[in-house]
Amino acid sequence: MKHRLLPAAHSRTRTLVPAVLGALVLSACGGDSSSHHDSSAGPLKITDDNAAQVVAQTLIAPEIALSLTNFSIPGTIVTSPECQSGSATLETSLDATNNERLSLLSADNCTATNDDETFREVLDGELQLTYDSPEPASPFFFDAQRFYVLLELSYEYFNSESLELDGSGKVSSDPAPSLTEANFTFKINQKIENETGDASEMNFQLSVKDWSSVVEMLSEEQPGVTTNGRLTPLLAEGLQSYVDVVTNTPRTYDGDVCSESGDITVNGADNTSINVYFAGSDQITVTVNGVAHDMSCDEFRQWLPIDGSPLSLR
């Protein structure tokens, strides 16, 4: 069914940024985060200088990828504004329980503001979802063509958030979140200026090819994640080369970089590699190009570009 895009109630808590990225500020913020993934770029040569950045983004990549499971819920990514300039079309369908789910959002620079101009939203590009079945938890395939969302709030402070997605993938949420057949570039930008004029900016980019992140229960109460595929990490020096990620043993998945168990290998150019082995949350071995380093959780956090909270990269 098609809908004319209607005005929505806006709140200052509205956000595009996944919760796990709330404090995320990459050391690569000064780099060229606007460039698209170049499939012709060669593999990255892994060195002691870039190993920590590569590992950090390898660990956080499943969190970002799995956040796409929310796309089917109307209003999660967009608030369906009425276009005051440009145009947009929103199409939804009904699942087996008669709940609406997003099927298509197509926009051509659709821009909307509220009456006092303290809120601005811009939509552009196209996002299409194709479901396997009418069941509420049906897996779906998403296809995004330069899909872009910008939200700006100007109340006591200024807050700007944008999301860009270009590519496709298969998403499932039952029995646990999973992303497969993924080939996309996903970007997030957030700018905040508080009432005193202090400003901060966060950029994150995830580019993947033939990527999968699958969550499974390792025990009755412990989920684990298996991640495989090609990742183009956003490095401080702005390089756009790729690495290949292989999960040898699923990593416990609880929002912390210090996993209880797991074994991940990242392969780069010229037979370079990193292996991260979790024998316990406080028994971690990182092997960079054949040289092993045993670390406690605190030492692992200090080695990674991490600020404060779990999975927050500096």
DSSP string covering 113-164 = E-TTS-EEEEEEEEEEEEESSSSTT--EEEEEEEEEEEEEEESSSEEEEEEE
**115 forms bridges with which residues in the sheet?**
none
Residue-wise DSSP of the chain: -EEPPPP----TT---S-GGGTT---GGGGS-TTSPP-TT--BPPP-TTTHHHHHHHHHHHHHHHHGGGGGGSTTSS---PPPSEEEEEEEEEE-TTS-EEEEEEEEEEEEEE-TTS-EEEEEEEEEEEEESSSSTT--EEEEEEEEEEEEEEESSSEEEEEEEEEEEEEEE-SSS-EEEEEEEEEEEEEEEE-TT--EEEEEEEEEEEEEEEEEEESSSS-EEEEEEEEEE---TT----BEEEEEEEPEE-SS-SS-SSEEEEEE-GGG-EEEEEEEETTEEEEEETTEEEEE-HHHHHHHTTB-SSTT-B-
Residue 7 within a domain: no
Confidence tier at 77 by pLDDT (50, 70, 90): low
Q: Please provide residue 64's backbone torsions phi and psi, each rounded to the nearest 5 degrees.
A: -70, -45
Provide mean pLDDT across the span 5-11.
35
- Asked if the structure places residue 146 within a domain, the reply is yes
- Show the CA angle centred on residue 139, arms to residues 133 and 144, nearest 5°: 110
Q: What is the rounded distance in angstroms from the CA atom of residue 131 to the CA atom of residue 149?
A: 23
Domain housing 246: 25-35+42-303
Q: What is the mean pLDDT of residues 224-251?
A: 87
Does 5 fall in a domain? no
98: left (phi over 0), alpha (psi -120 to 50) or beta: left
Overall pTM surpassing 0.85 (yes/no): no
With a cut of 60, say whether residue 17 has pLDDT above it.
Answer: no
Q: How many CB atoms lie within 10 A of CB 184?
A: 22
Whether the pLDDT of residue 201 is over 60: the answer is yes
310 lies in a domain?
no
Whose CA is closest to 129, among 119, 110, 143? 143
Interatomic CA distance for residues 231 and 308, integer angstroms: 25
Does 10 reside within a domain?
no
> For residue 210, what are the CA distances in angstroms to 78, 207, 253, 270, 281?
27, 11, 21, 21, 29
Q: Residue 116 has what pLDDT?
A: 81
**How many domains does one find in the chain?**
1
Within-domain flag for 161: yes
- The larger pLDDT score, comparing residue 158 to residue 265, is at 265
Give per-residue pLDDT as tens, 95-116: 999 988 889 999 999 998 888 8
Which whole number is the average pLDDT over 197-222?
87
- 60 or 213: whose pLDDT is higher? 213
Cα separation of 184 and 178, whole Å?
A: 15
Indicate whether 308 belongs to any domain.
no
Mean pLDDT within 152-157:
80
Q: What band does 125 get if pLDDT is binned at 50, 70 and 90?
A: very high
Residue 313 lies in a domain: no
| Per-chain mean pLDDT for the chain | 80
Reported as a single tens digit per residue, the pLDDT across 180-191 is 999 999 888 888
Is the C-alpha dihedral spanning 295, 299, 305, 307 positive or negative?
A: positive
230 pLDDT more than 90: yes
pLDDT for the residue numbered 1: 52
Residue 37: exposed, middle, or buried by beta-carbon count in 10 A (0-12, 13-18, 19+)? buried
Residue 74 pLDDT exceeds 80:
no
